[in-house]
Amino acid sequence: MKNYKINRDDTLFVFLDLQDSLLKAIENRDEILKNSVILAKTAEILNIDSIITLQYPKGLGGVNKEIHEFIKNAPQIDKAYFSCMRDEKFLEEIKKFGKRQVVIAGIEAHICVFQTARDMVDSGLNVFILSDAVGSRNKKNRENALRQLNDLGCVVTNIESILFDLCEVSGTPEFKKVQKLII
């Protein structure tokens, strides 16, 4: 049974391959970028640990600068595997943080996001996929990936649901800062 309850203290954000050279070809890139920046700002406000992954950065470049601005201290993992869970450095960071819940934003939904999330679920992690912060070059590939991710046990949700769930209560200084990101 899926665990839909997210616990801020046990949560890690993963920004998967959000490189400008890759984003150019993505069907819903503006939405992904906007919501990934909101997620990065939320990480800073709520002090949530993050990991950045880069697919072949020598050829494809670094993480989008708008995202990086808010999570500068997050470890960056250069990878060749499509699944981050096959990369030793990534696994070391996951182990170091010790979090059991992972929120994923990134590309491509049907390749790296899918394979990483599948392997995370297989390893016992509770995975939340932000449907409005993941994408593919082709809309049908993205839609198919989201269905498959849901079927294999990921919680497929959206940026606003995650933000409000992480804040838990209105009226706090943190909530007011996070709320401004979406209003």
Residue 36 and residue 69 in contact, taking contact as beta carbons nearer than 8 Å:
no
Question: Which tokens belong to 129?
Answer: 């996929």
Residue 12, C-beta contacts closer than 8 angstroms, at least 6 positions apart: 48, 49, 50, 51, 94, 97, 99, 101, 102, 103
- Proportion of the chain above pLDDT 90, given as a percent: 91
pLDDT of residue 183: 86
Domains of the chain with CATH codes: 11-178 (3.40.50.850)
**The pTM is what?**
0.96
* Spatial separation of the C-alpha atoms in residues 146 and 66, rounded to whole Å: 25
> For residue 2, what pLDDT band results from cuts at 50, 70 and 90?
confident
